[in-house]
Amino acid sequence: GAADEFRPGQWIRDVWRFAKDDPKRVIFALKVGLAVLLVSLLILFRAPYDVFGTNIIWSILTVAIMFEYTVGATFNKGFNRALGSIAAGVFAIAVMQVAMSSGHVAEPFVIGFSIFLIGTVTSFMKLWPTLTQYEYGFRVTLFTYCLIVVSGYRMGTPVKTAMDRLYSIAIGGLVAVLVNVLIFPIWAGEQLHKELVNHFNTVADTLEAAVLMTECVKKYLADDGTDRPEFDKTVMDDFADEPAFRKCRTTLNSSAKLDFFANSAKWEPPHGRFRHFFYPWCEYVKVGAVLRHCAYEVMALHGCLHSEIQAPYNLRIAFQPEIQDATNQAAELLRSLGKDISNMKRGLQTTLLKRLHSSTERLQRSIDIHSYLLTTTHHEYSSPKPPSKPLDLPDPTQNPVPPTIHRAESYHETMRKQQKRLYSWPSREVDEFGEEGGFGGGDGGEMIRRMRALESTAAMSLATFTSLLIEFVARLDHLVDAVDELAKMARFKEEEI
């Protein structure tokens, strides 16, 4: 059964690729092995064991628990461990003084109550939003306190035991830190830096994929007439751009990861390219948030393209050059921002931004000039009215003006033909109308009115696409500002011109 599904060859290849994708993974694993080996040597050799006795096993525990992927996270855990242990030690000594002076009968009650109290207080405190990042520290405080107090009460030599244990914990921590920092260190700051740059590229890719998708649909629609039932499948599953969107979804869900890296990076000393103290890691998080804000717009674009209604082929092809141009500019700006961050340069981006704005403006003007296309069947309403005073519109539900249908017949024909290949919208409702039939179902006028509403939405989907693109560009302004702020605070070097 299960043995049939287990293919060792495939499995080994997967593991190999996983390791090759990011050799840091292998380095990390080897480092952990080395650290536990080093600390075990302390026990395998006789000398340290003779000094510390069985307490030396705490150094193993410390290494296994403290060793994290990045230097910053290891420091963070070490700090939590150290502070937690110290706090526990101070409490324990204080309480034991009280307990011993309270007499032989009361002593266990004092100890028991203090344990209950410490357990309750630390557990409540670690739920406090700003303290959740020190969760591990509270845990350490709790169990260290219990260990010291209880073993002090039972074994009698609290200070000696506590000190031996503290030394072995310190030895374990030292080994973990030294191995982590000195041998191929993996810096959380570097990871954060790369992660953010990747997100820039992902958003740029997704944006380009979105427009590539309109291309694909265009190409598909170009061979008119043939009936392909697998259309929906093609759109949903196989398009080459889907990976881009999946990656974009990762970007959208990246906040926790960026927060974690930034939190870890704060603990790291200046290193590599991040040479000054108090490097503004939290600015990376802010830039990430603004980038995500831009990505929402891209996801809405995605929705626009995946939606059941598409603008007619003619419309889309009419504005294709402008859309293409604006998108390329926007993607280029994103990539350039990412590259600047990656190289820690402070490019001013004014040229790119200006070019992007002017190409967006061109798209806007083009939509503006050809906007009659978006409302093509409604020329009977186009007589100029003065819209500057409050409009007195007829309520369409009260007074449904019957639209003139005879003029737009040929357009309807095309639409109806295309309809086969478009999703019906809203799919559910169409089914219901099909089933019910009674509610004006046989009435051709009602049907055509529905069709026209659909057409109008189809044309509007282009307007939406454009508006979203423009809004995206507007948000890029904020992104440029955020990156600029980061560049200023992180003292990226000015680009030489």
List the interface residues with a second copy, window 306-335 (CB under 8 A).
307-308, 312, 314-315, 317-318, 321-322
Buried/exposed 68-105: b ≥16 CB within 10 Å, e otherwise: bbbbbbbbbbbebbbebbebbbebbeebbeebeeeeee
Task: Please say whether the beta carbons of 214 and 312 come within 8 A.
Answer: no
- Which of 329, 373, 340, 354 is closest to 469 using CA atoms? 329
Q: Which stretch binds a second copy (CB under 8 A): 70-78, 186-194, 292-300, 336-344?
A: 292-300
**Residue list 414-443, contact with a second copy (CB under 8 A):** 414, 425-429, 432
CA 117 to CA 402: how far, in whole Å? 77
**Residue list 252-281, contact with a second copy (CB under 8 A):** 252-253, 255-256
CA 154 to CA 149: how far, in whole Å? 9
**Residue list 163-192, contact with a second copy (CB under 8 A):** none
CA 12 to CA 10: how far, in whole Å? 6
Residue 245 or residue 279: which is nearer to a second copy going by CB? Answer: 245
Distance of CA 272 to CAs 186, 263, 387, Å?
11, 18, 62
Find the shortest distance in angstroms from Cβ 276 to a second copy.
Answer: 26
Q: What are the residues whose beta carbons fall under 8 Å from the beta carbon of 432, sequence distance 6 or more?
A: none
Residue 368 or residue 496: which is nearer to a second copy going by CB? Answer: 368
Residue 257 or residue 339: which is nearer to a second copy going by CB? Answer: 257
**Residue list 58-97, contact with a second copy (CB under 8 A):** 60-61, 63-65, 67, 69
**Residue list 397-416, contact with a second copy (CB under 8 A):** 397, 401, 403, 407, 410-411, 413-414
213 binds a second copy (CB under 8 A): no
Q: Is the dihedral of CA 321, 324, 330, 333 positive or negative?
A: negative
Classify residue 493 by its DSSP letter: E
Rounded (5°) CA angle 269-273-279: 50
Residue 54 or residue 491: which is nearer to a second copy going by CB? Answer: 54
365 binds a second copy (CB under 8 A): yes
Task: Please say whether the beta carbons of 484 and 494 come within 8 A.
Answer: no
Residue 142 or residue 192: which is nearer to a second copy going by CB? Answer: 142
**Residue list 235-254, contact with a second copy (CB under 8 A):** 252-253
Residue 342 or residue 403: which is nearer to a second copy going by CB? Answer: 403
Residue 75 or residue 245: which is nearer to a second copy going by CB? Answer: 245
**Residue list 377-396, contact with a second copy (CB under 8 A):** 378-379, 381-391, 393, 395-396
